[in-house]
């Protein structure tokens, strides 16, 4: 590393690290606090992200074995998303039948671990890509597929559990 590019190397890690710390500060304040859960809105974020991924894959489709890696990443994201959904506490108010969810500290630490893994893999893909950008594109495609599985199956797990709890609460009250 030369003296000319030393400040940019520091900024490359300082800016994202600062943003992550600020987001963590605000998220840690809400850990353990119940938030209203709206079943009718759980589908919105996964749908928007699926459309984004479909658009990216349509405009610049993955090549060769990257498709297989994307499918594996989608499956891994689905499994980890389902697991993170299990870490979230879902409750039903017995009187009003209003749903609420509470994010556990383990669920937040899980997201932090994913951000660290993503950052490390991005740094490795840049080093392995050399002068071309095919490695970075493949890594981005794989991470997008992973995120799609993660987001969708986390929401699916929370939705399935919330519907079951709501049905039980309504059956108990009737």
Same domain, 26 and 40: no
Same domain, 22 and 63: no
Name the percent of the chain lying above pLDDT 70: 75
18-28 pLDDT, tens digit per residue, is 877 787 777 77
| 20 vs 47 pLDDT, higher one | 47
Residue 6 has pLDDT above 60, yes or no: no
**Helix orientation angle between 6-30 and 105-129, rounded to the nearest 10 degrees:** 160
State how far the Cα of 139 lies from the Cα of 134, in Å rounded to an integer: 9
State how far the Cα of 97 lies from the Cα of 36, in Å rounded to an integer: 11
Same domain, 2 and 80: no
pTM here is 0.72
Domain count, the chain: 2
Same domain, 129 and 55: yes
Same domain, 76 and 133: yes
* Segments forming the whole domain that contains residue 21: 1-30
Average the pLDDT over 147-172 and give the result.
93
Same domain, 3 and 61: no
């Amino acid at each position: 590393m030369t003296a000319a590019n030393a400040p940019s190397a520091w900024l490359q890690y300082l800016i994202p690290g600062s943003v992550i710390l600020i987001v963590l500060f605000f998220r840690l304040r809400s850990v353990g606090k119940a938030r209203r859960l709206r079943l009718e809105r759980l589908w919105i974020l996964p749908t928007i992200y699926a459309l984004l991924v479909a658009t990216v894959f349509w405009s610049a489709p993955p090549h060769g074995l990257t498709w297989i890696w994307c499918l594996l990443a989608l499956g891994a994201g689905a499994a980890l998303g389902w697991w993170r959904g299990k870490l979230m506490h879902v409750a039903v108010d017995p009187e009003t039948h209003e749903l609420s969810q509470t994010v556990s500290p383990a669920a937040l630490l899980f997201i932090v671990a994913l951000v660290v893994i993503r950052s490390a893999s991005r740094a490795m893909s840049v080093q392995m890509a050399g002068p071309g950008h095919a490695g970075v594109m493949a890594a981005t495609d794989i991470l997008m597929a992973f995120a799609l599985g993660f987001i969708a199956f986390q929401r699916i797990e929370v939705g399935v559990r919330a519907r079951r709890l709501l049905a039980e609460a309504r059956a108990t009250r009737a």
